[in-house]
Amino acid sequence: MTETDDLPPLPPSKTRLKQAAHDLQALGARLVDLPRDRLQMLGLPESLYDAVRECQSITRHEARRRQIQYIGRLMRQVDPSAIEAQFSIWDGTSAAEVALQHSIERWRDRLMDDQASASALTDLAAAHPGCDVQQLRTLMRNARREFAQGKPPRSHRELFRALRAILAAPAAGDAIDGV
């Protein structure tokens, strides 16, 4: 062992500290852009939540910039990893969210296939007993009709949303890969 192995690690440089502060400020600026319902979902400390809500009502550029700096200072007292994880889910960049998205698309494709739709609906109902089979059947029929008539795919999107609600349920986490 050498003498350098016994030395305590060096503190972060001033540049690294400034970069970390800028990153927290940028994360705070993203919080300001969120709608109220998503902001409440994050479970922020009250002082940070109030500062973000106040910044959302500020219209003057310089006042808004100062408020975002204040939010950045408040962000130093919060663990940003949970906030960043939630943003990655909302942005669709987390691996779990991408896997869920692909699973929903596979189920939708199976349900829309004319030959395999009955067996796919049966498989889905077996994997997720709480799903509304009648609603899914109606959405499938309407989506096929819209496609045949060349209309916008409104029911196709509604089918996707219904599948998302079914597959994103906490009890269905182990059946997502069943496609």
The structural domains of the chain, ordered by start, are 14-91 (1.10.60.30), 95-178 (1.10.60.30)
Nearest CA among 76, 79, 22, 29 for reference residue 55: 29
Query: What one-letter code names the amino acid at 8?
Result: P
Question: Quick one: tokens of 13?
Answer: 């440089």
**Position with higher pLDDT, 3 vs 88:** 88
Residue 173 has pLDDT above 70, yes or no: no
Matching residue, tokens 């196709």: 156
Q: What is the mean pLDDT of residues 138-150?
A: 90
pLDDT at res. 2: 58
Cβ of 110: how many Cβ atoms within 10 Å? Answer: 16
Give the CB-side neighbour count of residue 122, counting CA atoms within 13 A.
4
Residue type, 147: F
Report the candidate in 53, 48, 38 with the shortest Cα–Cα distance to residue 70.
48
